[in-house]
């Protein structure tokens, strides 16, 4: 006989929050039945309204806080539109760091069964605001006026904003300037229902070290009304701009960028540095959105690799070569693998840009290319993985276990899949020695982690 669900939809109940989910919702339990409530914090007592009931769990809406967490901060109602994408806007930064560090520890224990691994205190930012060096802002129309901002959660309704507190100031200025110019020139915003209009997205990228700005205008049509005036106004109002690019996306799709990209003014790329390594950034390049914390993360990865200059290193999921080029400064040679062909082209260009000759790059799935290398007799002393959120493919983990590199350095953006993969490596003869969480994305629930793993038999 199944257990009766202890709550019903539309019930008002008082609960104690015990934990946070991976996406930042408070977790309360009623007779063991979990209810997920956005905005709730561990240690708080609150009145909630039950809004949805499933067999194993329910959802609630926060109505009134009865006992408040020491980590709660107030967000003024008029500031709310500025906080698109900030799941932890109501948590002090000290509380955010504590939550993220605890999340890493919990999943390592619960999923990875790793109870004695040393987890270092999370490395946060001195200023956890205005850190993102890239914006992709949707454009629409409201009351006959061109607007841009962010989509309301679970909708395609655009909230018009002039500032995003996660974007660096130069990015906010660029987006605001293009929006104002487009309004003045009466350039029609894209309407996704009718598939008419011109301007779809305003995109901006900025090199923190070089202070170079790129503006990308994503349009439905190849023709931009008043194009010459648009370019003249952008260059006049944004003195740091080095590149103005048009991307044409004529398809009826939610994908932001189309296939055609043309430079309208200036250079094809802007430049930036992470540490001493220089990177060329095009409109479509993948580049870390928080280079300050990326440097922290990669320096820790380099420290864990502890290279003497005699090692061969394989960098799985190498992207545009960011970690590879860091490692190449200390290794005998580095071999990077990445499935995205454009990223590999960028990696080769970035190696050339930095006069790095001991890094080679191949296009393909890490789980296919690296096993093939191993069969051909190519091995590695150190293997670095920085996989997507789904973690490492099982075929790659099995190859690591067969290949027996002395060290594996695992860079993760998802603690749950990290813990799962660490368990597989531990069962295959490896030991997890140290774990260093790094806060790459303050005000959000995301946490990055770098882990040192060594071969024990």
Nearest to 97 by CA among 78, 119, 66, 121: 121
H or E stretch at 327: helix 322-328
DSSP 142-157: ETTEEEEEEEPTTS-P
User: Which secondary-structure segment (H or E) carries 137?
Assistant: strand 134-142
Q: How far apart are CA 179 and CA 115, in angstroms?
A: 52
* Distance of alpha carbon 217 from alpha carbon 249, whole angstroms: 10
Look up 86 and say whether it is catalytic. no
Three-state DSSP state, 449: strand
Three-state DSSP at 407 gives strand
Q: Looking at 86, 318, 392, 413, which residue is catalytic?
A: 413
DSSP-assigned letters across all residues of 8-23: -TT-EEEEEEEEE-TT
Q: Structure tokens of 404?
A: 């027996």
Which residues, 6+ apart, have CB-to-CB distance to 77 below 8 Å? none
Contacts of 290 (CB under 8 A, 6+ apart): 131, 132, 133, 440, 441
* Torsion angles phi and psi, residue 411, rounded to 5: -105, 125
Name every residue whose Cβ is closer than 8 Å to that of residue 356 and which is 6 or more positions away in sequence: 325, 328, 329
Q: How far is CA 225 from CA 167, 192, 228, 300, in A?
A: 28, 19, 9, 49
> Among 57, 2, 8, 4, which residue's Cα sits nearest to residue 28?
57
Q: What residues are annotated to the active site?
A: 413
């Amino acid at each position: 006989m199944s257990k009766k669900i202890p709550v019903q939809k539309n019930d008002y109940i008082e609960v104690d929050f015990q934990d946070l989910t991976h996406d930042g919702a408070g977790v309360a339990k009623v007779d063991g039945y979990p209810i997920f409530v956005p905005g709730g914090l561990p240690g708080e007592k609150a009145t909630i309204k039950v809004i949805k009931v499933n067999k194993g769990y329910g959802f609630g809406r926060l109505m009134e806080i009865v006992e408040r967490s020491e980590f709660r901060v107030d967000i003024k109602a008029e500031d709310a539109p500025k906080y698109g994408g900030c799941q932890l806007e109501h948590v002090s930064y000290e509380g955010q760091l504590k939550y993220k560090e605890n999340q890493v520890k919990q999943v390592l224990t619960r999923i990875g069964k790793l109870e004695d691994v040393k987890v270092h205190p999370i490395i946060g930012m001195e200023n956890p605001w205005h850190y993102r060096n890239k914006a992709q802002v949707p454009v629409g129309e409201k009351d006959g006026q061109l607007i841009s901002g962010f989509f309301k959660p679970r909708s395609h309704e655009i909230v018009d904003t002039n500032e995003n507190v996660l974007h660096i100031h130069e990015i906010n200025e660029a987006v605001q300037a293009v929006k104002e110019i487009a309004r003045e020139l009466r350039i029609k915003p894209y309407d996704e229902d009718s598939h008419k209009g011109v301007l779809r997205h305003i995109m901006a990228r900025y090199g923190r070290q070089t202070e170079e700005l790129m503006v990308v205008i994503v349009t439905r049509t190849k023709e931009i009304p008043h194009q010459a005036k648009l370019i003249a106004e952008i260059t006049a109002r944004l003195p740091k701009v080095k590149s103005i690019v048009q991307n044409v996306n004529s398809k009826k799709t939610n994908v932001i960028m189309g296939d055609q990209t043309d430079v309208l003014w200036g250079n094809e790329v802007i430049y930036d540095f992470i540490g001493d390594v220089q990177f060329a950034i095009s409109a479509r390049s993948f580049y870390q959105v928080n280079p300050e914390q990326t440097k922290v993360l990669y320096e820790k990865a380099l420290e864990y690799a502890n290279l003497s200059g005699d090692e061969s290193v394989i960098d799985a999921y190498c992207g545009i070569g960011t970690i590879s080029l860091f490692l190449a400064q200390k290794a005998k040679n580095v071999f990077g693998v990445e499935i995205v062909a454009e990223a590999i082209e960028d990696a080769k260009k970035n190696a050339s840009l930095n006069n790095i000759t001991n890094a080679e790059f191949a296009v393909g799935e890490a789980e296919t290319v690296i096993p093939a290398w191993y069969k051909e007799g190519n091995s590695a002393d150190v293997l670095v993985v920085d996989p997507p959120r789904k973690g490492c493919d099982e075929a790659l983990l099995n190859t690591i276990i067969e290949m027996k590199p002395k060290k594996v350095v695992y860079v993760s953006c998802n603690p749950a899949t990290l813990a799962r993969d660490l368990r597989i490596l531990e069962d295959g003869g490896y030991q997890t020695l140290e774990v260093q969480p790094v806060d790459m994305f303050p005000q959000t629930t995301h946490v990055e982690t770098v882990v040192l793993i060594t071969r024990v038999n």
